Amino acid sequence: MAVVSVMEVHALRKRFGTVTAVDGVTFSIAAGEVVGLLGPNGAGKTTTLHMILGLITPDSGSISLFGRELARHRTEVLSQVNFAASYLGLPGVPRVEELLTAYAHLYGVRSPRRRVAEMVDLLDLDDLRHRPFRLLSSGQQTRVLLAKSLLNEPALLVLDEPTANLDPDVGDRVRELLLETAARSGRAMLITSHNMREVERMCDRIHFLAGGTIVATGDATELAGAYGVADLEEVFLKVARE
């Protein structure tokens, strides 16, 4: 059976003034695949994610999602994608359930109430559903943002440091849940993280970025072998210090 490509990025370039943030990045993601983008701060990970999501326009190169160009098919494409990042928030005053309902509407979910109930159940948010978002701990807020990111059953889920604010126990359970729901639905995921154990556990393939360029690709074992080190953490240190 042919591998269905969810996303293809080709020769992506972006400069901000004199700084080259992304320089010739090319990779693709197949349905059901979990791909990690790793690299030190300023390597171009978030810029790459934001270009894929249409928040930043590339200087050159192409991005295709589900075989379509985002700029020309924005509504269709973005209805199949979702995004969560540790640096994003939601309006602070509305209750969790109200926020999720609003986002279910924004994604054009058929039965918002039912879908929100499913997400509350899935992310174990029952105790929080009637609380204002601003009164939640950062870990609880992250769970709500993850619930938001699953509302439309995205075919591609983009996660920028998804578990940065979670304690190890909750982080572990969230990783399990993301992998389990992705495996069940054939969802592809594109993840950035500075948690090497998380990346090792979740990602089928990892692209190491440095200076805006992909400098290494492979799974965790392949990368460790290629750099002659024990694990991904040491690969990261080697890439960051080169």
Partner 1 sequence: MNGTSVLLPPNSLAARRRRVLGVVFRDFVALRRNPPRMVEVVFWPTIEVVQWGLVSLFLQSHRVPTAMALLLGAVLLWQVLQRSQAELSLAFLEDVWSRNLLNVFVTPLSTSEYLTGLLVVGTLKTATSTALMATLAFALYGFGLVSIGPALVPFMAVLMVMAWALGIVAMATVIRFGASVQTIAWMLSFVFLPFAAVFYPLSVLPGPVQAVSHAVPASYVFEGMRAVLTGGSPSWSGLAVAAVLDVVYVAVALFYLGYALRQARQHGRLSRFAE
15 or 238, CB closer to partner 1? 15
CB of 166 to partner 1, least distance (A): 18
182 or 232, CB closer to partner 1? 182
CB of 111 to partner 1, least distance (A): 8
111 or 221, CB closer to partner 1? 111
Non-local CB neighbours of 39 within 8 Å, separated by 6+ positions? 45, 208, 209, 210, 239, 240
Name the region of 88 (left: φ>0; alpha: ψ -120 to 50; beta: rest). beta
Instruction: Find, among 172, 97, 178, 83, the residue nearest to 136 by Cα.
Output: 97
CB of 9 to partner 1, least distance (A): 16
What is the SS3 assignment for 203? coil
CB of 200 to partner 1, least distance (A): 26
- Token pair listed for 130: 């009637």
CB of 68 to partner 1, least distance (A): 10
* Neighbouring-strand partners of residue 157: 82, 189
For residues 140 and 109, the answer to whether their CB atoms sit within 8 Å is no
Alpha-carbon gap, residue 62 to 51, rounded angstroms: 10
Alpha-carbon gap, residue 149 to 144, rounded angstroms: 9
102 or 240, CB closer to partner 1? 102
48 or 195, CB closer to partner 1? 48
Residues at the contact surface with partner 1, assessed by CB under 8 A: 14, 16, 21, 46-47, 50, 53-57, 66, 74-76, 78-83, 85, 87-95, 98-99, 101-112, 115, 132, 148, 152-155, 185-187
CB of 145 to partner 1, least distance (A): 8
For residues 93 and 120, the answer to whether their CB atoms sit within 8 Å is no
92 or 168, CB closer to partner 1? 92
Q: For residue 197, how many other CB atoms are within 10 A of its CB?
A: 16
